[in-house]
Amino acid sequence: MNDNRPIEILMAEDSPSDQAIVQQAFKSSKLHNHLHIVWNGEEALEFLRREGKFASAPVPDLILLDMNMPRKDGRETLAEIKQHEQWKLIPVVILTSSKAERDIMTAYGLHANCYVVKPVDFEQIIEVVHSIESFWFTVVKLPRLHGGQVHV
């Protein structure tokens, strides 16, 4: 992304320790980014809709989504994101502790862009986050989404 604006990342994660690790990884990044953290799928959808406390939320360039969260889990949230005309263009990375083949198949069936199992080791999690960042914001060319609309 070369338009000099910060990279906007939305993370839906209910584990405070995982939130802190990912937050630390993005803080140590060479890329200018804003990490927005929500606790569950309901909040992620409120963020995308710009409802309530998220009224001034930016359109994320990438969504990190945990599969197992309270209220609305990652499966339900992913299904809703990928059915929405503009949101479906936002890459969704499943970042979860689940190694279950059923979860992997479900995520890809719901059009997740990739599925990453969180390592248990702190340093490996940092490496994984840096790899996600490097791939999605250095290697891949993403559409520019502003105000929920694609700009060409």
pLDDT in tens, the chain (152 residues): 556 788 999 999 999 999 999 999 888 888 889 999 999 999 999 999 999 999 999 999 999 999 999 889 999 999 999 999 999 999 999 999 999 999 999 999 999 999 999 998 888 999 999 999 999 998 998 887 765 444 43
Rg of the chain in Å (alpha carbons):
14
d(CA 118, CA 67): 11
At 6, phi and psi to the nearest 5? Answer: -65, 150
Domains, the chain, ordered by start: 8-140 (3.40.50.2300)
* C-beta separation of 37 from 19 below 8 A: yes
